[in-house]
């Protein structure tokens, strides 16, 4: 799948949330259905996808390398979420084998952080087959960011963001 760069930025105003200064936060990326009617059957849809594509993941994190003298162009290579080094600034990337549409990692809001994600399913995989020209369903990349609580668990919600995508061959 094509890799897409998402830059993680700390957009707090001066003095806002000082308790996360010098601390890591956790971001969880998910590819979900944008259409509400498909959200109701998302679990069944994803199980069907898993059945048809054993061993595949819907969402992965990609590794980035800068090209040498080729005008500074960026080349993106595929890697599994356990390969190191990963995209810039991410720490402890994880992909739960049972959640094919989710990846997560820690990052420092004070440092440059950029993650390359790869979506391995196409929008027409969830539409009824016709005679070509299928519209395909829109997906949403949902990013939820959390800070650590007193117990060291990342459960305190800080921010959510999303964007709509369609993936075609």
52 found inside a domain:
yes
Is residue 135's pLDDT more than 50?
A: yes
Lowest mean pLDDT among 78-82, 93-97, 130-134: 78-82
What pLDDT sits at residue 164?
85
State the CB neighbour count (10 A cutoff) for residue 56. Answer: 12
* Cα–Cα nearest to 126, from 156, 162, 101, 95: 101
30 in a domain, yes or no?
no
Given this model, what pLDDT does residue 132 score?
58
Number of domains in the chain: 1
Residue 22 lies in a domain: no
> Which segments of 39-153 are extended strands (E)?
59-66, 74-77, 90-94, 102-107, 113-119, 139-148
Q: Is residue 102 part of a domain?
A: yes
- For residue 74, is it within any domain? yes
> CA nearest 60: which of 6, 119, 138, 139?
119
Q: Which domain holds residue 55?
A: 3-8+36-165
pLDDT 10s digits, 37-90: 777 778 888 888 889 888 888 888 875 433 222 222 222 333 344 333 458 899
**Which pair of structure tokens corresponds to residue 135?**
């519209």
pLDDT at residue 46, as a whole number: 82
Instruction: Quote the pLDDT of residue 75.
Output: 29
Q: pLDDT by residue (tens digit) across 98-130?
A: 889 999 999 999 999 999 888 888 776 766 665
Between 27 and 84, where is the model more confident? 27
Residue 13 lies in a domain: no
**What pLDDT does 1 receive?**
64
Question: Is residue 31 domain-resident?
Answer: no
The average pLDDT across 125-145 equals 75
pLDDT of residue 122: 76
Pairing of strands 113-119, 3-8: antiparallel
Instruction: Give the pLDDT band (50/70/90) at residue 32.
Output: confident
Compute the distance between CA of residue 112 and CA of residue 105 in angstroms, rounded to an integer: 14
Domain for residue 20, yes or no?
no
HSE, side-chain direction, 13 A CA sphere, residue 51: 6
């Amino acid at each position: 799948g094509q890799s897409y760069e998402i830059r993680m930025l700390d957009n707090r105003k001066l003095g806002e949330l000082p308790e996360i200064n010098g601390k890591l936060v956790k971001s969880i990326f998910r590819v979900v259905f944008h259409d509400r009617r498909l959200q109701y059957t998302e679990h069944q849809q994803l199980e069907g996808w898993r059945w048809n594509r054993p061993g595949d993941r819907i969402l992965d994190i990609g590794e980035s390398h800068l090209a040498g003298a080729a005008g500074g162009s960026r080349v993106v290579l595929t890697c599994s979420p356990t390969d190191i080094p990963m995209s810039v600034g991410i720490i402890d990337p994880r992909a739960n084998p049972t959640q094919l549409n989710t990846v997560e990692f820690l990052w420092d809001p004070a440092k440059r952080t950029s993650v390359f994600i790869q979506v391995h399913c196409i929008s027409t995989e969830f539409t009824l087959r016709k005679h070509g020209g299928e519209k395909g369903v829109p997906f949403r990349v949902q990013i939820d960011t959390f800070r650590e609580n007193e117990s060291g668990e990342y459960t305190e919600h800080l921010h959510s963001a999303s964007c709509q995508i369609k993936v075609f061959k």
